[in-house]
A = this chain, B = another copy of it.
Amino acid sequence: MSDTNKESYVVGVDLGGTKILAGLFDNSLECVGTAKVSTKAQRGLETVLTRIERCVRDAVDEADLSLKNVRGVGIGAPGAVDFENGTVLFAPNLEGWKDVPLKKELEKRLDLPVFVENDGNISVLGVHVAELKAKPRNVIGIFVGTGIGGGLIINAELFSGFNHTAGEIGHMIIDVNGPKCGCGSRGCFEAVASRTAIFQRIKAGIKDGEKTLLTEMLGENLEDLRSGDLRKAIRRGDKFVSKVIEQVAEYIGIGVANLVNILAPEVVVLGGGVMEALADEMTSVILKTAKEHAMPGTMKNVEIIASKLGDSAGITGAAVLARREAK
């Protein structure tokens, strides 16, 4: 172990399309301080960089420490990342960031080593290290939020492939004639099963005259609709929202079956904001659909579980990365 120094903390950052989370982690990978700010990507790159810096400083301050106590910072970014250079190659959910030298810019601002990875990769790493006690050798992480991110543990290591882009499961096409995706294709996994897809289905249903408690709760335009509202509506007996969530859970089950057929993992971990809010409503449908669509034999002893880390998967994995990489 290189981190026996008690003063050796790391910060893990989860850079999302709508919010930035940061967590300060001690040597035992305990989170001892957190901070959260909205991303405001629409205000431009400088704003986002400043807000990441502020969020890191706030998390450290929260634990009554200073950046001097910190060995390094890990960041999970929502898009294709060049890990070697710490560059975000392409991030559609950050106003289309292209070739942003995130590592270099933040190292300048924080005077600390910074390491950047894809957010799905980071999250599955966090779950593998902090949650999966049996340390399975092959794990698929499926993170359902604004989009769908993924990450792969293969032979007990994070696997990012040749172009460091492995795990882009959100753009696996499962319904070739389905709804248009932000990437330009049709019927991508995230075009049929992300929060964005759920909200589109609900809004389209309302236009077609479907009745839902959501309009009572939030008004006709469903302003500030969140995943938690869907759970509330379902628990109050909203049949339309139940139906939409069941259909989306079926799509997630098909995505799981595809990935199990391709990769034969021991464990599939489901996480992200949608799963966190709706795990009770979705998990049994996901399991049933996955079993129906996977090849005979492939699902034997495969565990499909909802992560308990929730939103902390990203900051935890980013902290693991920083611990591994910072000298």
Interface residues of A (CB under 8 A from B): 80, 89-90, 136-138, 150, 152, 154-155, 159-169, 171-178, 183-185, 187, 251, 254, 257-259, 261-266, 292-298, 300-302
Contacts and interface: CB of A to CB of B under 8 A. Distances in A.
Nearest to A155: B155
16 contacts: A80-B298, A138-B161, A160-B264, A161-B263, A162-B266, A163-B300, A164-B264, A165-B264, A166-B263, A167-B264, A168-B262, A169-B262, A171-B257, A171-B261, A173-B257, A258-B258
Contacts of A159: 154-155
Given A138-B162, A168-B295, A175-B176, 16 more contacts: A89-B297, A152-B262, A162-B301, A163-B301, A171-B295, A172-B172, A172-B261, A173-B254, A174-B174, A174-B176, A175-B187, A176-B178, A176-B187, A183-B296, A184-B292, A258-B258
A172 B262 contact: yes
With most chain B CB atoms within 10 A of its CB, the pick from A137, A176, A294 is: A176
- CB-based closest 4 A-B pairs: A161-B264, A166-B264, A168-B261, A80-B297
A162 B297 contact: no
The dominant DSSP class at the A interface is: loop
A298 B113 CA distance: 27
A124 to B, nearest CB: 13
B172 A175 contact: no
Contacts of A80: 295-298
